[in-house]
Amino acid sequence: MTPILIKAGQEEYEAFVGSRLLERAGELIAQKLNGTGCSIVSDENVAAHYAEKVNRSLTNNGFRPTLITIPPGEKSKSLTEAERICQRMSEAGLDRKSFVVALGGGVVGDLAGFVAAIYHRGIPWVQMPTTLLAQVDSSIGGKTAVNTKNGKNLIGAWHHPTLIISDTDTIETQPARERRQGFAEILKHAVIRDAEMFEMLQNVEQQDLASLIRRNISIKASFVAADERDEKGERALLNFGHTVGHAIERAGGLHDLLHGEAISLGMVAACEISVRKAGLAEQERDRIVKSLHSFGLPTRMPPDFAREKILEAIRFDKKFRNQAVRFVVTPAIGSARIATDVTMDDIAAAIKAL
């Protein structure tokens, strides 16, 4: 199996994608890392399914793993949890030659990656993403973080993994609603970069998941290679749908929409704005909305949602502090650019139409 090469600044690492890879984890890691001590960080749900398999594979290849589990959910992405993991690693005698294995979704990836970035001033880590979102998005690009009470991902570090092992069989045990949100990011990739993949996705039933995941890793990796530290505006294009989407998440209150669901709505709004400001054909907008819908993602706001709160949340967005609204638009399916002429009124109108 040919891995995908990911280039980021000075660093290069590989992503293996396919079936039955967790049982080969030890063998794949042995080709890259020489330390023997390691921690497997996972959440309770994922550990129940896969920790034993990974543990066995590592042990069979001469590694000495310590399993550390966290409660599932976004709440675990905290400094407290990071400290607890570091503590457990110290108690297990893991030194700076050791490494971390992140076995789980984006929550485990962000948290365990952050621990790897700070433990003994930085040790290597291996990502084993087990959700569709983590396989196509969060495992690539080296962003690690925990949340604080003031906001998401406010404390973090850049720390690329040494290796990514994406076992596509793990997606089968992922709850359906969680899996659907991965398709929001996949459709995002299609809209901003890959018109051909957008066409392929019209056939919802006939998806070869492994090749779809590989294609999406390559797309995300291309943005990362062009703009590793998110400074040049290229990586910012990945925020398509996220300005309004994040605001919907923050305004959510009782309607607890998943990230991908909020992003789906955010993309509908971004398409509306793209029609007004970037010349997106109405017909293309309709096709995008229809695709989101066909993957079971929401394209209309719940009727009783407090829409005014969304706009309020956008005004607080860190990206808008200097007043200039930088908004990602798509002029045509398969392309994206940053527009600087999108006004709050445009955004308000798009939210009203949702």
Using CB under 6 A as the binding rule, whether residue 108 contacts ligand NAD is answered as yes
CA dist., res. 233 & res. 301, Å (int): 29
Q: H or E stretch including 164?
A: strand 163-167
Q: H or E stretch including 60?
A: helix 44-60
CA dist., res. 316 & res. 95, Å (int): 42
Interacting positions 155-174 with ligand NAD (CB under 6 A): 170, 173-174
Helical H runs in 298-343? 307-316
Count Cα atoms within 13 angstroms, Cβ side, for 250: 20
Q: How far is the CB of 11 from ligand NAD (least distance, A)?
A: 15
Using the minimum distance from each CB to ligand NAD, give the nearer residue, 146 or 350. Answer: 146
Structure tokens at 256: 């607890």
Which of 121, 149, 318, 321 is catalytic? The answer is 121
Tell me the β-bridge partners of 66.
39
Catalytic annotation on 250? Answer: no
Which residue's entry shows tokens 């850049």?
A: 158
Question: Which residue minimizes CB distance to ligand NAD?
Answer: 106
Interacting positions 17-76 with ligand NAD (CB under 6 A): 43, 45-46, 49, 72-74
Dihedral sign, CA of 249, 305, 241, 180? Answer: positive
Which of 77, 143, 159, 160 is catalytic? The answer is 143
Amino acid at site 5: L
Catalytic annotation on 235? Answer: yes
Using CB under 6 A as the binding rule, whether residue 291 contacts ligand NAD is answered as no
Using CB under 6 A as the binding rule, whether residue 134 contacts ligand NAD is answered as yes
Judged by DSSP in three states, 144 sits in strand
Q: How far is the CB of 308 from ligand NAD (least distance, A)?
A: 26
Using CB under 6 A as the binding rule, whether residue 143 contacts ligand NAD is answered as yes
Using CB under 6 A as the binding rule, whether residue 241 contacts ligand NAD is answered as no
Amino acid at site 195: A
Q: How far is the CB of 254 from ligand NAD (least distance, A)?
A: 20
Using the minimum distance from each CB to ligand NAD, give the nearer residue, 133 or 336. Answer: 133
Using CB under 6 A as the binding rule, whether residue 239 contacts ligand NAD is answered as no
Which of 14, 81, 185, 284 is catalytic? The answer is 185
DSSP assigned state of 241: T
Amino acid at site 219: I
Residues classed as catalytic? 121, 143, 185, 220, 231, 235, 239, 242, 246, 259
Instruction: Name the residues that contact ligand NAD, by CB under 6 A.
Output: 43, 45-46, 49, 72-74, 77, 104-108, 110, 130-131, 133-134, 137-138, 141, 143, 152-153, 170, 173-174, 178
